[in-house]
């Protein structure tokens, strides 16, 4: 197994579900604050807030309470929109793939789901990170988010149940999708994200994938920097939900050839 500083990267097990879902929800909702602050800094949003304040002052005869209330309402609306982008995403994923991880990520030898497990001071073990790979079937289903990661033990366990066969030849157009790349806040800046990504990329290379794609958002600055150092390049940008516009949240598609 890949391990460093007491952290082991291993294949997901059924007993990990509660911790994994908690990590997924906590990390995803953690993007709300930076998205909100990003929205507050947008020039057009500042202008709109001033416009709302002026309108409230005119309509109320110069009442400072009316102006403050109008500005607070606008800020509250912006916060709600940022909340809904990420909270809505969590609700959607918990009803779908994250609701049955083994069926969606471990039912095919070309797919895998890893967790990073750390031993804490009390001697107990906690899951502090995760990443998944599936074979890309067409459109990315996301609007979403490492010592050296090559790890024979992890990859062997991701092929449990597979009959003995030679490594498949690399297929033209066989594309992997990397997602659910998350690390708990207290465990970041230790190289764990890189280890998780490299573990997934080594698996993709072994399974004969020709390239890897992923989607992330513009609020995930640290992740974008990491993906860039790993050789991913931006190939598309989209804003799939109206709620993303005020905070200028964009979904970026990144790709890396193998």
State the 10-residue block means of pLDDT for the chain, 258 residues long.
70 94 95 89 82 82 85 89 91 93 93 93 88 79 34 43 40 82 92 94 95 91 92 90 80 93
Domain spans, the chain: 2-31+93-257
Residues 59, 52: Cα–Cα separation, whole Å: 11
Local structure of 107: helix, strand or coil:
coil
Residues 118, 147: Cα–Cα separation, whole Å: 15
* Its pTM surpasses 0.75: yes
Q: What is the per-residue pLDDT for 172?
A: 55
Considering the segment(s) 2-31+93-257 as one domain, its CATH architecture is 3-Layer(aba) Sandwich (3.40)
Pseudo-torsion of CA 153, 159, 161, 167, nearest 10°? -110
């Amino acid at each position: 197994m890949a391990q460093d500083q007491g952290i082991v990267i291993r294949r997901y097990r059924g007993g990990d579900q509660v911790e994994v879902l908690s990590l997924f929800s906590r990390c995803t909702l953690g993007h709300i604050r930076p998205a909100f602050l990003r929205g507050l800094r947008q020039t057009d949003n500042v202008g709109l807030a001033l416009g709302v304040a002026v309108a409230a002052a005119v309509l109320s005869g110069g009442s400072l309470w009316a102006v403050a209330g109008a500005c607070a309402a606008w800020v509250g609306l912006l916060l709600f929109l940022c909340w809904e982008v990420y909270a809505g995403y969590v609700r959607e994923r918990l009803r779908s793939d994250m609701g049955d991880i083994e069926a969606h990520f471990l039912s095919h030898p070309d797919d895998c789901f890893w967790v990073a497990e750390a031993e804490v001071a009390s001697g107990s073990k906690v899951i502090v990170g995760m990443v998944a790979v599936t074979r890309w079937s067409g459109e990315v289903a996301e609007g979403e988010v490492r010592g050296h990661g090559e790890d024979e033990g992890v990859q062997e366990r991701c092929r449990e149940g597979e009959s003995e066969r030679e490594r498949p030849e690399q297929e033209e157009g066989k594309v992997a999708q990397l997602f659910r790349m998350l690390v708990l806040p207290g465990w970041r800046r230790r190289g764990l994200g890189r280890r998780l990504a490299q573990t997934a990329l080594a698996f993709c290379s072994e399974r004969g994938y020709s390239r890897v794609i992923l989607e992330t958002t513009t609020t995930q600055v640290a992740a974008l920097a990491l993906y860039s150092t790993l050789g991913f390049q931006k190939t598309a940008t989209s804003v799939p939900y109206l709620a993303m516009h005020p905070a200028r949240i964009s979904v970026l598609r990144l790709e890396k050839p193998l």
